[in-house]
């Protein structure tokens, strides 16, 4: 309820504070911040609906026509004009070689560790590495507020800390706990609006932002919408045009054909482009997966930067960015280092990450991300030293691995977590997307296993899922009836997702809208 003069407007409906977060709730949901949010959402909500409908329209057109994605004829003039460049980025973004990725700010302990790390940047993640429950969003936004306003006693001043690259949710996500004019709020506007209202001016005056990552952008029209949001927000908050800078994650086969257009739309606000390899790979299943010609092979064996499929994508991204004066950043190293630095497993893990990152450096990237904070300095030292369709098949181990990742992601989501650890690696919604996408596609095309020639069918996946669940029950040490029930629910939901007639576009949308998940996240 907003009071203006003698008139009362019931424009925003906001759920009350989760237990234990009353102080944080009051700090971020002030009357002024709610007015700002209401105006932001009211201004752009219709445009958000349009771009989501356009996504459906493009997918339908591909399905009906049988066409392949390609470069847009209508925007050829942008691609063919050699004269334009993006605006130069601020000094703190110019030499940002190693970022910490998947940093969910609701995890206060890890957030503080990252703030005190030697990383040049932090991907403060409200998207892939975060489960967007109401408590997590409130706590995460409040922790960013505390960091920016220098309220953490054991953290550096924001001007001396690694630069914060704030990553709001993607367009497919909805904030259920706030309604504006009778509609649930787009998740990215909720995150972006609160972060900007509370932090933008301090970040700008300390020459430390506001800087963003933009997830799952599928077209230059979506980039145009973000640019309009940036211009509106800068005007509202009294910031100069171009104060906001954003790195767009190219993690969709459609946006891969519109990289120049995306940079052009954001040319005053661009901090470059980033390779999101797992979401990019999953998008082939999303957009083209019903076509047998686009069968994606075992991701744990055949889909990596050493293969032409992903290497050509990274090469195009790097060349496009550098031609337009923009930064190009690589993917995230998800491997976790063993604790004993003198052990052979530690040396092997470090050598594996180094080998893959040297491929990205050779491709010309300006930086990349790591998850393990222990990889920051070794990778900084590495930087200082110096066919399109993937080939291959499907293995039994790869199928079981994908099943395990999909189930564990849903299980983690049901506990309010957006990532988990498995076999020495961090897994999040991006790896869950590619895992469940491949299982769905392999079932659809009855793909044969390299091991024994068996076809991947729903029956086989169901049988393997029983075995995997049994192993996970022991690995996760399910001790209570609630934990057993949650794992059973996660298994059932995974089988439902990979068995659907039509491919669910995003697993996070499916989980966020599903009644069981929504209810569980609020218990």
Rounded CA separation 241/25 (Å): 31
pLDDT of residue 518: 46
pLDDT of residue 388: 36
pLDDT of residue 389: 43
Q: Is 388 exposed, middle or buried (0-12, 13-18, 19+ CB in 10 A)?
A: exposed
* CB neighbourhood size of 32 (10 A): 9
SS3 169: coil
Rounded CA separation 87/270 (Å): 7
Rounded CA separation 226/229 (Å): 5
Rounded CA separation 252/21 (Å): 36
Structure tokens given for 429: 């919604």
CA dihedral 40, 41, 46, 50 (to 10 degrees): 90
Could you tell me where the beta strands, DSSP code E, fall in 349-496? 367-370, 420-422, 425-427
CA dihedral 99, 100, 104, 108 (to 10 degrees): -120
Structure tokens given for 400: 């079981």
Q: C-alpha 188: how far from its chain's center?
A: 12
> Which residues are paired to 9 by β-bridges?
2
pLDDT of residue 393: 79
Tally of CA atoms within 13 A in the half-sphere of 430 that contains its CB: 26
Catalytic one of 92, 279, 428, 486:
428
> Which residues are paired to 328 by β-bridges?
273
Instruction: Look up 428 and say whether it is catalytic.
Output: yes
pLDDT of residue 9: 53
For 256-275, the DSSP string reads GG-HHHHHHHTTTTEEEEEE
Q: CA-based angle 99:104:110, to the nearest 5?
A: 75
Catalytic one of 167, 169, 267, 299:
167
For 420-469, the DSSP string reads EEETTEEE-HHHHHHHHHHHHHHHHTTPBBTTT--B--HHHHHHHHHHHH
| Residues in CB range of 1: below 8 A, 6 or more apart | 8, 9, 10, 11, 12
Positions in the chain whose pLDDT score sits under 70: 1-10, 302-305, 386-392, 514-523
pLDDT of residue 451: 78
pLDDT of residue 217: 95
- pTM for the model stands at 0.82
**Torsion sign, CA atoms 433, 435, 436, 442:** positive
Q: For residue 104, which phi and psi values (nearest 5 degrees)?
A: -75, 115
Q: For residue 286, which phi and psi values (nearest 5 degrees)?
A: -60, -50
Rounded CA separation 332/100 (Å): 8
Tally of CA atoms within 13 A in the half-sphere of 355 that contains its CB: 10
| Residues in CB range of 205: below 8 A, 6 or more apart | none
């Amino acid at each position: 309820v907003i009071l203006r003069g003698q008139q009362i407007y019931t424009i925003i409906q906001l759920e009350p504070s989760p237990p234990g977060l009353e102080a944080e709730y009051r700090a971020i949901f002030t009357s002024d911040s709610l007015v700002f949010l209401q105006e932001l959402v009211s201004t752009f909500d219709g445009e958000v609906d349009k771009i989501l409908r356009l996504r459906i329209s493009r997918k339908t057109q591909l399905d009906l026509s049988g066409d392949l994605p390609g470069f847009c004829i209508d925007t050829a003039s942008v691609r063919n004009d050699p004269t334009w460049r993006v605006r130069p980025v601020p000094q703190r973004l110019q030499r940002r070689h190693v970022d910490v990725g998947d940093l969910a700010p609701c995890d206060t302990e890890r957030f503080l560790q990252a703030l005190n790390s030697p990383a040049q940047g932090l991907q403060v993640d409200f998207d892939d590495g975060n489960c967007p429950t109401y408590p997590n969003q409130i706590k995460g936004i409040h922790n960013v507020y505390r960091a920016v306003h220098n309220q953490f006693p054991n953290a550096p001043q924001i001007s001396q800390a690694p630069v914060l690259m704030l990553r709001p949710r993607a367009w497919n996500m909805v904030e259920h706990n706030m309604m504006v004019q009778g509609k649930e709020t787009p998740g990215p506007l909720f995150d972006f609006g609160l972060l900007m209202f509370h932090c933008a001016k301090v970040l700008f005056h300390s020459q430390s932002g506001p800087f963003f990552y933009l997830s799952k952008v599928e077209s230059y029209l979506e980039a145009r919408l973000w640019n309009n949001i940036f211009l509106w927000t800068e005007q509202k908050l009294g910031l100069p045009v171009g104060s906001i800078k954003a790195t767009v994650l190219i993690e969709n086969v459609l946006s891969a054909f519109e990289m120049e257009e995306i940079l052009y739309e954001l040319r005053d606000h661009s901090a470059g482009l980033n390779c999101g390899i797992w979401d990019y790979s999953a998008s082939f299943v999303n957009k083209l997966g019903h076509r047998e010609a686009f069968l994606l092979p075992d991701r744990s064996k055949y889909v990596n930067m050493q293969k032409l499929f992903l290497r050509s994508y990274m090469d195009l991204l790097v060349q496009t960015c550098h031609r337009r004066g923009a930064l190009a950043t690589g993917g995230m190293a998800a491997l976790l280092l063993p604790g004993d630095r003198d052990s052979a497993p530690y040396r092997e893990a470090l050598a594996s990450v180094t080998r893959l990152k040297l491929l990205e450096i050779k491709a010309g990237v300006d930086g990349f991300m790591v998850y393990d904070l222990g990889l920051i300095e070794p990778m900084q030292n590495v930087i200082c030293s110096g066919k399109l369709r993937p080939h291959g098949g499907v293995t039994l181990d790869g199928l079981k691995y994908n099943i395990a990742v999909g189930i564990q992601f849903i299980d983690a989501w049901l506990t309010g977590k957006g990532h988990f650890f498995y076999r020495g690696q961090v897994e999040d919604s991006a790896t869950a997307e590619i895992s469940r996408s491949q299982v769905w596609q392999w079932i659809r095309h009855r793909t044969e296993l390299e091991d024994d020639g068996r076809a991947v069918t729903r029956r086989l996946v169901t049988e393997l899922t029983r075995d995997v669940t049994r192993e996970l029950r022991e690995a996760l040490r399910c001790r209570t009836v609630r934990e057993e029930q949650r794992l059973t629910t996660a298994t059932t939901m995974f089988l439902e997702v990979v068995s659907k007639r039509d491919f669910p576009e995003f697993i996070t949308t499916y989980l966020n809208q599903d009644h069981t998940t929504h209810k569980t996240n609020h218990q």
